[in-house]
């Protein structure tokens, strides 16, 4: 590699929630039944932490307050291993389903709990199901007032459950002191396509994701934002009976291949925490190698 070559570091992020908390399962699993379900998030996050350690990667963990309250040592382990602790809200309720007061309580309680357990400032927030959109932009005011410094809650795509396709594709200030960092998309023929995580990462051949991130780094010259969930590396998770075919396909497709794909992805690109890339001084998205 040329000593003058600039390598762009991308943001690796994990949304820490368990399989039964997925928004698509809400019609089938009552929130009041969560405590009766087998929790698998602890073992899955430890597998992720070990994988990141093996690859020398630091990441951002958007963690539910519900999970943190039940597994405080897991929160401390994330911090102890050098990763960024960030908020996924408390109860995995979509921001679009909450009024202002309920949202304030959800994100405020989560931030306070995570900071108390982790002993670090929680700077970032990601809304469950990327549920900040044109109808609840007031959520940014709440996040700023709670002391968050960045959000990663808008997905600038067209989707049946979320998305704001006309929103900027790159990190931008949405309120004084608050940055929105959208998940990365591929711009093609006037439309944005998902390119950095979720079900599409499991559905498409791995080479397609690698090509899209490479293209984003090369053409846009910016850090990509990738995300996945602990349940996506757990093919042995309990199957939810009675779910519709579309939900079943989206949740379980290629779930047995995800961990090996994540491992390959970690080796194919340079990665860093979101706060390091987007809250650092201008130009921190690039690292000379």
Structural domain boundaries, residue 253: 7-280
| Residue 187 confidence class, pLDDT cut points 50, 70, 90 | confident
Note whether residue 2 is domain-resident: no
Q: What is the pTM of this model?
A: 0.93
Note whether residue 274 is domain-resident: yes
Note whether residue 236 is domain-resident: yes
Residue 265's CATH number: 3.20.20.370
Separation of first and last alpha carbons in the chain: 8
Q: Is the separation of the CB atoms in 233 and 18 below 8 Å?
A: no
Give me the pLDDT at residue 160, please: 53
Note whether residue 286 is domain-resident: no
Tokens 């960024």 sit on residue: 84
Does 224 score more than 50 pLDDT?
A: yes
Count of the separate structural domains present in the chain: 1
pLDDT digits (tens, 9 = 90+) for 100-130: 999 999 999 999 999 999 999 999 999 999 9
Does 263 score more than 70 pLDDT?
A: yes
Note whether residue 1 is domain-resident: no
Note whether residue 272 is domain-resident: yes
Give me the pLDDT at residue 282, please: 46
| Residue 13 confidence class, pLDDT cut points 50, 70, 90 | very high
pLDDT digits (tens, 9 = 90+) for 125-176: 999 999 999 899 999 999 999 999 999 999 886 555 555 667 788 899 999 9
Retrieve residue 100's tokens.
Answer: 């202002």
Q: What is the mean pLDDT of residues 197-207?
A: 91
Note whether residue 289 is domain-resident: no
pLDDT digits (tens, 9 = 90+) for 53-87: 999 999 999 999 999 999 999 999 999 999 999 99
Note whether residue 146 is domain-resident: yes
Does 1 score more than 70 pLDDT?
A: no
63 has which bridge partners?
16, 87
12 has which bridge partners?
226
Q: What is the mean pLDDT of residues 172-188?
A: 91
Q: Is the separation of the CB atoms in 240 and 26 below 8 Å?
A: no
Q: What is the mean pLDDT of residues 11-24?
A: 96
């Amino acid at each position: 590699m040329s000593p003058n070559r600039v390598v762009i570091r991308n943001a690796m992020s994990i949304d820490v929630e368990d399989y039964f908390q997925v928004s698509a399962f809400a019609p089938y699993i009552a929130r009041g039944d969560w405590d009766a379900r087998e929790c698998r998030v602890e073992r899955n996050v430890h597998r992720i932490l070990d994988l990141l350690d093996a690859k020398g990667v630091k990441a951002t963990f958007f963690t539910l307050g519900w999970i943190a309250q039940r597994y405080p040592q897991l929160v401390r382990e994330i911090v102890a291993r050098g990763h960024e602790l960030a908020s996924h809200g408390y109860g995995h309720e979509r921001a679009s389903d909450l009024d202002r007061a309920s949202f304030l309580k959800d994100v405020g309680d989560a931030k306070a709990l995570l900071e108390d357990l982790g002993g670090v400032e929680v700077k970032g927030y990601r809304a469950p199901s990327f549920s900040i959109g044109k109808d609840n932009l007031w959520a940014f005011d709440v996040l700023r007032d709670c002391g968050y410094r960045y959000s990663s809650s808008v997905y600038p795509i067209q989707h049946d459950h979320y998305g704001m396709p006309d929103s900027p594709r790159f990190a931008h200030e949405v309120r004084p002191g608050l940055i929105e960092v959208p998940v990365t998309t591929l711009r093609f023929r006037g439309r944005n396509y998902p390119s950095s995580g979720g079900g599409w990462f499991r559905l498409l051949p791995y080479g397609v994701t690698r090509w899209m991130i490479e293209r984003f780094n090369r053409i846009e010259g910016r850090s990509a934002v990738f995300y996945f969930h602990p349940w996506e590396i757990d093919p042995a998770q309990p199957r939810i009976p009675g779910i519709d075919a579309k939900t079943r396909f989206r949740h379980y497709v290629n779930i047995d291949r995800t961990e090996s794909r994540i491992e390959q992805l970690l080796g194919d690109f340079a990665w860093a925490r979101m706060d390091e890339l987007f809250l650092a001084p201008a130009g921190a998205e690039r690292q000379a190698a």
